[in-house]
């Protein structure tokens, strides 16, 4: 099964993915941030590079979903293809960094690709307020993120809340990133591991039951 790890920039997606891989033995697939040749240019000039950067992420994530074999294992996907479309590209279009013509091409591309996609077995959303996001971004020290406008992060947060509340293709789990510091605090880490472990077991039980019943009929 594929479990999507969702959340805003700085929420701790990669950290949670790494933790679950280490402690629960899941297979991790990380966002191709360092592979994106447009990303640093994007942060310097969003008008010029927004469409290119978002299209790169969209194609990379579709390529992963097309090739992945998830039978008998739990695969963690650091950010989902739905977030690319519903959060990041949509926000850039709303801010007019992606114009109407490019947005239509981008969205038509996703619509075409989505006909060949199976939704993830579950979504885990790390929900963080703006102060938490800013603190974590500063702490991890990625140079190209240092000048991110807090208003940009706040808009992304609003889009995350709206999208996640209406997403119905998969079971969902919310991890409170403000209250649970699963990176620094061992007790918080234990709580999150228990939450995720129970979530995945419930999904697996449901899948097994469905397959068993289908076999009987």
Annotated binding site for substrate: 31, 43, 54, 79, 84, 145
Single pTM value for the model? 0.86
Q: Do residues 106 and 58 lie in contact, with contact meaning Cβ atoms separated by under 8 Å? A: yes
What residue spans define the domains of the chain? 2-216
For 179-208, what is each residue's pLDDT tens digit? 999 989 999 999 999 999 999 999 988 865
Q: Name the CATH superfamily, with its identifier, for domain 2-216.
A: P-loop containing nucleotide triphosphate hydrolases (3.40.50.300)
pLDDT band per the 50, 70, 90 thresholds, residue 70: low
163 vs 209: which has the higher pLDDT: 163
Indicate if the alpha-carbon torsion angle 23, 84, 152, 53 is positive or negative: positive
Residues forming the annotated binding site for ATP? 7-15, 136-140, 180-182
Catalytically active residues are 78
Alpha helix ranges (H) inside 84-180: 90-94, 100-114, 130-140, 150-166
């Amino acid at each position: 099964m594929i479990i999507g790890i969702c959340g805003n920039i700085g929420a701790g997606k990669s950290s949670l993915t790494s933790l679950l891989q280490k402690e629960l033995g899941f297979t991790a697939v990380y966002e191709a941030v360092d592979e994106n040749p447009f990303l640093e240019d994007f942060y310097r000039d969003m008008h010029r590079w927004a469409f290119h950067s978002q299209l790169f992420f969209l194609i990379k994530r579709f390529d992963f979903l097309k090739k992945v074999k998830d039978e008998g294992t739990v695969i963690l996907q650091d950010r989902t293809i739905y977030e690319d479309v519903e959060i990041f590209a949509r926000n850039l279009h709303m801010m007019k960094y992606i114009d109407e013509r490019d947005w239509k091409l981008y969205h038509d591309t996703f619509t075409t690709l989505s006909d060949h996609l199976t939704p993830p077995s579950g979504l885990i959303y790390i929900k963080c307020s703006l102060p938490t996001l800013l603190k974590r971004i500063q702490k991890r020290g990625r140079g190209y993120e240092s000048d991110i406008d807090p208003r940009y992060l706040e808009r992304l947060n609003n889009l995350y809340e709206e999208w996640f509340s209406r997403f119905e293709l998969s079971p969902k789990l919310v991890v409170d990133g403000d209250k649970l510091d699963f990176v620094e605090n061992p007790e918080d880490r234990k709580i999150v591991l228990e939450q995720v472990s129970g979530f995945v077991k419930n999904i697996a039980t449901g899948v097994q039951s469905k397959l068993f019943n289908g076999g009987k009929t």
